[in-house]
Structure 1
């Protein structure tokens, strides 16, 4: 794994120290920390960060709003690490662009393991072979890790990109949410099939002219989801 810079954002200094210590045990030495939303955004202006671990309840801002702002200028993975453990909070986090959601109390070694997985996936986007998938309305460049919609680049979170890439590599194949979770998320990340459904919804908002009436990423009733090219829809 190449050199990576991690940003940890939490108002508990002890938690920041624990995660920093654990990350360095696993050879991740470039670690930035912030105890406020303002401090985190200042660091993001100054440094190129590979991954962000973000608390929701910060003294000067809401982590959900910070996530939304961060996602507007970077596709680096965002992992929520928070005491908020309700399903609605998790769904909200994923809808705003988070790639993972970990609740407190936590095992620091597991958190670092998840960080490593997301870093590998993020770096995969830069290392894949040349391949461009052109659907007319949108275009995915697998090698550069870019998504273009109507010829304008659209920010795409790592898991969204990898999910869309998987669909592009399997045009017109039907997959259940369970299939997609197993093939794209597992064995590296815990969660459930709701994560897949949320990411499909997020992708539709980006690649569909009308997300409520999908033309490309369609649902085959009772069977699952598939990606189709315009000429293959009839």
Structure 2
């Protein structure tokens, strides 16, 4: 069974989570604060970590940073209140796998833990490919420190299910970065469409993205599927 470290300063929360995780066939281990969690991670291995954001002394963000220094790959799931969403997003940027809001719905939490472990195992299996992939990306983008930082971000977000916004001046390689993220993701076998909305007239942008029916406007002599619909239908076609 997989070991899950629960880090929360509230004893009742730790107990409740431990009871539920045992029901889901996990082995729960408890830490009452960030310092204790860090020591446990130094001396033990865990398949996933549940980490509260608001704690005395070392908060969740500080604890996450220290844990990642010890074990860069262990998946960390942030447990946060609705008022702490911005902090949870910051944690994702620092390498957390996902976040769950309080009070956690146990079926969803168990599923998130399992997915984090699956991603962790898959990441270990393909770790030997990372160097080759990074070298390949360096060949495309370059080898400066700034580019290496971007490559690391590309490789990190490619494993997630989060939407990604890429910003930059014209000609800086935004579409190339988007293609790289797609190629490294679990959706790599699905269609990828790059659309330059800048060249689409404002009056036609809605039609191009969402499509239109015959007669929707002057000159619309036939129905047309938009980019979103075509992408969805292509996804449907390639399902086994």
- TM-score of the superposed pair, with normalisation by structure 2: 0.58
Give the structure 2 partner of residue 141 of structure 1.
none
Give the structure 1 partner of residue 11 of structure 2.
13
- TM-score of the superposed pair, with normalisation by structure 1: 0.60
- 1:225 pairs, out of 168, 178, 185, with 178
Counterparts of 1:18 and 1:43, CA distance in 2: 20
Asked if the contact 2:42/2:70 (under 8 Å) is kept, the reply is no
1:34-49 matched pairs, under 5 angstroms? 34-49=31-46
- 1:61 pairs, out of 51, 58, 62, with 58
Deviations 1:62-120 (A, max 9, x none): 11111111112211011110225344223211122111111112212321111011111
Asked if the contact 1:35/1:58 (under 8 Å) is kept, the reply is no
- Going from structure 1 to structure 2, the CA distance change for 1:85 and 1:103 (only over 3 Å counts) comes to farther
1:57 aligned counterpart, secondary structure: coil
- Going from structure 1 to structure 2, the CA distance change for 1:33 and 1:23 (only over 3 Å counts) comes to same
Give the structure 2 partner of residue 26 of structure 1.
24
Give the structure 1 partner of residue 86 of structure 2.
88
Give the structure 2 partner of residue 121 of structure 1.
119
Alpha-carbon distance, 1:125 to partner:
2.1
Counterparts of 2:82 and 2:33, CA distance in 1: 18
Give the structure 2 partner of residue 163 of structure 1.
158
2:30 aligned counterpart, secondary structure: strand
Counterparts of 2:75 and 2:55, CA distance in 1: 19
Q: Which has the higher helix share?
A: 2
Choose 1 or 2 for highest CA Rg.
2
The size of the alignment, in residue pairs, is 171
Q: Which has the higher strand share?
A: 1
